[in-house]
Chains A and B, each alone.
Chain A
Amino acid sequence: MLTVAVPLTIGLVGLAMALNLWRLLAGPALEDRILALDTLTVNAIALVMLAGIALGTRAYFEAALILAMMGFVGTVALAKYRLGGDIIE
């Protein structure tokens, strides 16, 4: 059953990432693009975990953790820039 579920879920997450990419390109406001980029990172974490399941290795766990941290810091920096014009007050 897992041999069916993993490719199917990769397809679902890939479709979700395509929709995020469309919102990233379409805008219209800068906030929409920031949100789309953040969602793209979160979906990328899911895809990395799925690759870990499909290939049966644990090496992808660190990559997913780093993606989560870098995505959060980047989104916060962009939102702070959008709020006040400076990132560190």
Chain B
Amino acid sequence: MLPSALDILVSLLLLVGGGFALVGSIGLARLPDFMMRLHGPTKATTLGVGAIVVAAMVHTSATSGRLSLQELAISLFLFITAPVVAHLLSKAALAQKARDGDG
């Protein structure tokens, strides 16, 4: 079992992460335009999943008794790739709009 302070920290990080992931997906589902819909997953969901990964890192470090930083690679990778994906998708949407003749 974890000490109570770490238990609260991991639980808080998990709940914040899950909330942000849900907010990003609600944005993806509810917003009216593709350029608006791009905002939700690329910002809110990335932050939320980053928080969940950090929570997993704290949990593994606390239970195994030594610092474990491998999980940080996942959140770092996500934070690096999210803007690249958003840029490529917005470029694709713009090109499609130009092909349709209303861009």
Contact = CB atoms under 8 A, between A and B. Distances in A.
Interface of A: 1-2, 4-6, 8-9, 11-13, 15-17, 19-20, 22-23, 29-32, 34-36, 38-39, 42-43, 45-46, 49-50, 52-53, 56, 58, 61, 64-65, 68-69, 72, 75-76, 79-80, 82-83
A83 B92 contact: yes
B55 to A, nearest CB: 7
Contact of B59 (A1, A53, A75, A79): A53
Going nearest first, the 3 A-B pairs with the smallest beta carbon separation are A12-B18, A5-B11, A16-B25
Contacts of B52: 9, 13, 46, 49-50
A9 B10 contact: no
Given A5-B14, A31-B93, A58-B60, A15 B22 contact: yes
Contacts of B78: 42, 45, 68
Nearest to A38: B85
A65 B14 CA distance: 19
B81 to A, nearest CB: 4
B67 interface: no
A8 B24 CA distance: 17
Nearest to A84: B95
B63 A56 contact: yes
B41 A39 contact: yes
